[in-house]
Structure 1
Amino acid sequence: MVMQAAEAEWLERFLEHLQSERRLSAHTSNNYQRDLQNFLNFCNEREFEQWSSLLEADIRNYIASRHRKGLAGSSLSRELSALRSFYNYLLREEVVTLNPAQGVRAPKTPRKLPKTLDVDQTARLLQIDDDDPLAVRDAALMELIYSSGLRLAEVVGLDLGSLDLRDATVKVVGKGSKERMVPVGRLALQAVEKWLKVRGSLAKVEETALFVSKRGSRISDRSVQKRLKEWAVKQGLDSSLHPHMLRHSFASHMLESSSDLRAVQELLGHADISTTQIYTHLDFQHLAKVYDKAHPRARKRR
């Protein structure tokens, strides 16, 4: 026995709701679809016929089964978030009378500190002396991520109208379609202005995206990731470099210089300050290393 067709259709309606009403990005919608498909498979294996027949214990059993397969706490939290959102939608549509995922929490796993570049490594990466249009584009893109702490999806989603060169600001659409205004640094502005001068040699006439591919349309996430890895190798850095490392580096360097956690939270677009606090651990690690090297009572004997 599998979930009734009429019940399974609610998944499709929910995914349409995410795009049409909540206007989530394609990447986020795909995550929802994948997570809920896994849950639907679980329901079919257990022979549940209706969404309303599931209880909190069933959700706990599902999360436990996913945990046994090796999923980390962060992934389980994401799946639970998808389930809560789905059931809240079913509550709104009066398909169910309770949300069985509401009280379920994912098992905690140690939070890994994000990898960052130090100031010298960042400067080396961004020291690109190449007039090829694609190189000019990449330099502007990386400078903007690092200057303003942008997510990959945010920088890819920028349009020409997102930038205000006179005010040195950029309007960013972040998670949950929330807009924020972020300052743009002097070097990033210079790099973007240089890119705008050659953008027309690549971009299609009707294209509104700030950053375009060699085909003339909006650059993709995958292309940005690939190009950053290539530049890391060219500039003599670790080939595991990814766009979020530049965002992490921005946050870490800002906190090292200012110690203003609230300001960095606003710049990054974090809804919860606890997400920003992870960068204070990075700052402490740096201070601890300096202490170990410098303090006469801390230095190890050679």
Structure 2
Amino acid sequence: MLIHDAIALFIEGYFSTCKRSDKTKAAYTTDLAQFRLRFNEDRDLDSIRADELEEWARALTDEGYAAVSVRRKFASLKVFFGYWVRKGVVASSPLWRIRLDLAREQKLPRNIPLADATRLLQAAWVRMSSERCNTKVQRDAPFLASRNLAALEILFATGMRVGELVSLRLSDWNEDEQSIHVKGKGGRHRLAFLTDQRSLAALAEYLPRRRKVLCGHESLFVNLAGGPLSTQGVARVLTGLAAEAGITMRLTPHMVRHTVATLLLRNGADIRVVQEVLGHSSIAMTQRYTHVSKEHLRETLQMRHPSHHMAIDRQAGAHSL
């Protein structure tokens, strides 16, 4: 089978039987398109050799691709070749005969300082209050202010991914339980709870306005055109509110998620609970945040430990021994 036929049939067949997100499908499509360009689309799939794939990995690294990106591309290839091994098209996968020795990047998640997070939320509430009271503003302004406030409060209350936020439907909100049904990565579902009065008040402010929007779909968060709010739209909201709050750091929605995780651990939440809140498939993913909390623990001990406040003359003590 030729490479270009194998890729087209794989995309059609694999994603029709395996439940994967559109984002995952797009990533596989991109990775396999690069593979096709590298190895000539008219070449037989079973002619691909392990040493050629190793050379491609080195070339990607030389071109400046991060180790995590190279690993992802080869993970896509592993699934791709495994699919055709199961179909009997190729006898074995060339990836079984290679090992990628790529150093894992230990990047700590970037957080929003607590003072900046407080100012950000305050800016959203101030905007909501001013638009509610000002009768001269455009008709759309109160809707946008309430939508932005509700989106931001839900992100901070639940730590959900921005993609999960924009995928929420009106029916996902359970008012009796004060919970949100979240459809997470890999088809995993979980409940996110709004446990503070502020986020509940923000959602209560927004929902009546949203239900007046007749747009032919059930997305919880919508844009002014009536379509579902995009992840880029949420990012722009965050940037605008940060500017109003006088925050110079570049903020992203994912930083809100990191901040929630860090603060939960810092305030004593069990790591298994944090794993469930964030929707991590593995506890190892949640453990990344313990590094940040360890730094906080060290700083707290340095400032608060009794030994730093005991006026002991160590030199005098040494003479008495």
2:80 to 69, 76, 86: 86
For 2:230 and 2:220, the matched residues in 1 are separated by: 12
Is the aligned partner of 1:230 residue 2:240? Answer: yes
Return the index of the structure with the highest Cα Rg. 2
For 1:248 and 1:207, the matched residues in 2 are separated by: 31
Matches within 5 A, 1:235-246: 235-246=245-256
1:193 to 204, 208, 228: 204
For 1:248 and 1:88, the matched residues in 2 are separated by: 34
TM-score by length of 1: 0.88
The amino acid of 1:57's aligned partner reads D
Whether the 8 Å CA contact 1:18–1:24 is kept in 2: the answer is no
For 1:168 and 1:69, the matched residues in 2 are separated by: 49
1:16 to 5, 9, 12: 12
C-alpha change, 1:167 and 1:153, in structure 2 (3 Å) is: same
C-alpha change, 1:148 and 1:96, in structure 2 (3 Å) is: same
Identity, in percent, stands at 29
3-state secondary structure, aligned to 2:94 = coil
Can you list the C-alpha shifts for 1:208-262, whole angstroms capped at 9, x where unaligned? 0000011111111111111111111111223511110111011001111124111
C-alpha change, 1:240 and 1:18, in structure 2 (3 Å) is: farther
* Unaligned ranges ≥5, structure 1: none
Corresponding residue of 1:274: 284
Corresponding residue of 1:157: 167
C-alpha change, 1:18 and 1:142, in structure 2 (3 Å) is: farther
Whether the 8 Å CA contact 1:54–1:100 is kept in 2: the answer is yes
The amino acid of 1:61's aligned partner reads E
The CA deviation at 1:272 is 1.6
For 1:264 and 1:220, the matched residues in 2 are separated by: 26
Corresponding residue of 1:212: 222
The CA deviation at 1:142 is 1.2
For 1:18 and 1:184, the matched residues in 2 are separated by: 37
C-alpha change, 1:193 and 1:101, in structure 2 (3 Å) is: farther
**Greater mean deviation of Cα atoms: 99-108 or 127-136:** 99-108
The CA deviation at 1:81 is 1.4
1:67 to 50, 61, 71: 61
1:247 to 235, 253, 257: 257
**Greater mean deviation of Cα atoms: 207-216 or 91-100:** 91-100
Whether the 8 Å CA contact 1:160–1:210 is kept in 2: the answer is yes
Matches within 5 A, 1:86-105: 86-102=80-96, 104-105=99-100
**How many residues were matched structurally?**
291
3-state secondary structure, aligned to 1:34 = helix
For 1:169 and 1:16, the matched residues in 2 are separated by: 36
The CA deviation at 1:19 is 4.2
The CA deviation at 1:18 is 5.1
TM-score by length of 2: 0.83
Can you list the C-alpha shifts for 1:105-133, whole angstroms capped at 9, x where unaligned? 35014311111113332222112222421
C-alpha change, 1:281 and 1:54, in structure 2 (3 Å) is: same
The CA deviation at 1:167 is 0.5
**Greater mean deviation of Cα atoms: 23-32 or 128-137:** 23-32
Corresponding residue of 1:114: 109
- RMSD of aligned Cα (Å): 2.2
Whether the 8 Å CA contact 1:148–1:182 is kept in 2: the answer is yes
3-state secondary structure, aligned to 1:85 = helix
Corresponding residue of 2:39: 43
C-alpha change, 1:7 and 1:35, in structure 2 (3 Å) is: closer
For 1:277 and 1:194, the matched residues in 2 are separated by: 36
The amino acid of 1:105's aligned partner reads L
For 1:35 and 1:292, the matched residues in 2 are separated by: 48
2:185 to 171, 175, 179: 175
